[in-house]
Amino acid sequence: MKILVLGGDGFCGWPTALHLKNAGHDVTIVDNLDRREGKSQTKSLTNIASPAARTRQSAIGYLIADVTRKYEMNHILDEHSPDVVVHFAEQRSAPWSMLSSSSMLHTVQNNVMGTIAVLDAIRIKSPNTHLIHLGTMGVYGYNTTDDPIPEGYVESTIGGTHDPDTKITKGGTRLNIVYPPDPGSIYHMTKVMDHQMFQFYTKNWNLRITDLHQGIVWGTQTEDTKEHPELINRFDYDGEFGTVLNRFLVQAVTGGPLTVYGTGGQTRAFIHIQDTVHCVKAAVDSGDFELNRRPRIFNQVTETHNIKTLAEMISNRTGVKVDYQDNPRREKAENDLNVSTTLAEVGNFTPIRLMDNLGLLSEVQDVVRANIDNFDPMVVKSNASWHK
Chain residues binding ligand USQ by CB under 6 A are 92-94, 136-138, 215-216, 243-244, 247, 259-261, 266, 268-269, 307, 329, 331
Nearer to ligand NAD, 46 or 110 (CB): 110
DSSP state of 289: P
The window from 66-74, 120-128, 256-264, 316-324 that contacts ligand NAD (CB under 6 A) reads 66-74
Residue among 98 and 232 whose Cβ is closer to ligand USQ = 98
Query: Which of 214, 222, 302, 315 is in the footprint of ligand NAD by CB under 6 A?
Result: 214
- The residue from 46, 68, 97, 126 that contacts ligand NAD (CB under 6 A) is 68
Of 30-38, 289-297, 353-361, 362-370, the window that binds ligand NAD (rule: CB under 6 A) is: 30-38
Q: Are 273 and 233 in contact (CB under 8 A)?
A: yes
> How far, in Å, CA of 30 to CA of 73, rounded?
10
Q: Which of 3, 4, 5, 12 binds ligand NAD (CB under 6 A)?
A: 12
Backbone angles phi, psi at 273, to 5 degrees: -55, -35
**Does 136 participate in catalysis according to the annotation?**
yes
Three state DSSP letters for 184-246: CCHHHHHHHHHHHHHHHHHHHHCCEEEEEEECEEECCCCCCHHHCHHHCCCCCCCCCCCCHHH
Closer by beta carbon to ligand NAD, 212 or else 311: 212
Counting residues that bind ligand NAD (by CB under 6 A) gives 28
If one asks whether residue 83 binds ligand NAD (CB under 6 A), the answer comes out as: no
Q: Which of 88, 140, 248, 261 binds ligand NAD (CB under 6 A)?
A: 88
Question: Kindly report the CA angle at 97 between 95 and 102, in degrees rounded to 5?
Answer: 130
Residue 187 known to be catalytic: yes
CB of 91 to ligand USQ, least distance (A): 9
| Residue 313, C-beta contacts closer than 8 angstroms, at least 6 positions apart | none
Tell me how far, at minimum, the Cβ of 79 lies from ligand USQ, in Å.
30
Query: Hey, what amino acid is at 193?
Result: M
| Burial of 142 (C-beta count, 10 Å sphere; 0-12/13-18/19+) | buried
260 binds, among ligand NAD, ligand USQ, none (CB under 5 to 8 A by kind): ligand USQ
Nearest-10 Cα torsion for 341, 23, 235, 13 = -70
Give the bridge partners for 209, in sequence order. Answer: 131
Q: How many CA atoms lie within 13 A of 61 on its CB side?
A: 10
Asked whether the beta carbons of 217 and 302 are under 8 A apart, the reply is no
298 binds ligand NAD (CB under 6 A): no
Task: State yes or no: is 381 an active-site residue.
Answer: no
Least Å distance, CB 79 to ligand NAD, is: 16
- Give the residue numbers marked as catalytic: 136, 187, 191
Q: Which residues bind ligand NAD (CB under 6 A)?
A: 7, 9-13, 31-35, 66-68, 88-92, 110, 114, 134, 136, 214, 216-217, 234, 243
